[in-house]
């Protein structure tokens, strides 16, 4: 693992690191905020998964998470959204290829050799971080925005023992029924839609739900509402009697102005779960 930068931040440290990823078969970069409490021992951790076109840097610099994470003594991980490198497959469209990993393990060419983002987020990166930093692997929460909200919800419901809490900002909520999903899931996983189900938050909610609290914020003026399909997730949560809160926020769009506005609420929400008991 290489240290790219480390900066003092709200009494803690905002670092950026890179490492050779075995599962993605390339060099990967991630950001990690460690609060001051990490100097004295392991701290809870919140995973933040970013959306389409983003790198590790977008949420790290625009989301405003560090101030609230420092207040609660929580670390925040900012992974990249896809593999990178000259030999990594890409596409001319912004919503496929680099910056658009969709948090799945690709099985189709030309994506399969590198696009193993599910295993990267679920297995490889957590092991690297707990091995090298003061992170309490028993106290983890996960959140994300847009494509990252999709990833956060699907990881949380598929790994029920891993995360104590999950939240999302404007998640891609029903990708198997959306152009932000059908295109990418076909490209990465093939045309067998049965293989898509574990990567659709609305279908997972109807089938499994989540054994813990959920918080969803959605901007009512989001320019991508028809692609996100929040109504499918809200209906599935209600039908499942899921412990959770779904909030439509009047006037807010899909931008980081929206995300940063409600970041304090999301950090506090996760802190309640991570410090419960």
119 counts as catalytic:
no
Catalytic residue among 56, 114, 254, 266: 254
50 counts as catalytic:
no
For helices 256-274 and 65-72, give the axis angle rounded to 10 degrees: 10
User: Are the C-beta atoms of residues 171 and 40 closer than 8 Å to each other?
Assistant: no
Catalytic residue among 21, 50, 82, 146: 146
Say if residue 94 is exposed, middle or buried (CB neighbours under 10 Å; 0-12, 13-18, 19+). Answer: exposed
| DSSP classification of residue 145 | B
Q: Three-class SS of residue 229? A: coil
Q: How far apart are CA 79 and CA 125, in angstroms?
A: 8
222 counts as catalytic:
yes
Please give the angle made by the CA atoms of 165, 166 and 169, to the nearest 5 degrees: 150
Q: Three-class SS of residue 146? A: coil
Closest CA to 146 of 219, 238, 240: 219
Catalytic residue among 82, 222, 266, 270: 222
What residues are labeled active site? 146, 222, 254
């Amino acid at each position: 693992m290489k240290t790219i930068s480390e900066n003092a931040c709200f009494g803690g440290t905002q670092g950026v690191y890179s490492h050779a990823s075995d599962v993605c078969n390339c060099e990967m970069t991630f950001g990690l905020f460690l609060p001051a409490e990490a100097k004295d021992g392991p701290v809870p951790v919140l995973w933040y998964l970013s959306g389409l076109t983003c790198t590790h840097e977008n949420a790290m610099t625009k989301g405003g998470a560090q101030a609230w994470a420092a207040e609660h003594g929580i670390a925040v991980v900012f992974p990249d959204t896809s593999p990178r490198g000259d030999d990594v497959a890409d596409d001319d469209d912004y919503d496929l290829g680099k910056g658009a990993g969709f948090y799945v393990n690709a099985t189709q060419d030309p994506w399969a050799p590198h696009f193993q983002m599910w295993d990267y987020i679920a297995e490889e990166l957590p092991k690297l971080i707990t091995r090298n930093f003061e992170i309490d692997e028993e106290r983890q929460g996960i959140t994300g925005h847009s494509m990252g909200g999709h990833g956060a919800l699907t990881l949380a419901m598929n790994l029920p023992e891993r995360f104590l809490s999950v939240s999302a900002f404007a998640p891609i909520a029903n990708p198997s029924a959306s152009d932000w999903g059908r295109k990418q899931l076909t490209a990465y996983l093939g045309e067998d839609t049965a293989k898509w189900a574990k990567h659709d938050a609305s279908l997972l909610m109807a089938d499994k739900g989540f054994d813990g609290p959920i918080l969803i914020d959605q901007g009512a003026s989001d320019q991508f509402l028809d692609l996100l399909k929040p109504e499918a997730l809200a209906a599935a949560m209600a039908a499942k009697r899921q412990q959770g809160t779904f909030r439509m926020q009047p006037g807010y769009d899909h931008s980081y102005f929206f995300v940063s506005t409600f970041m304090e609420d999301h950090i506090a929400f996760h802190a309640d779960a991570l410090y419960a008991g």
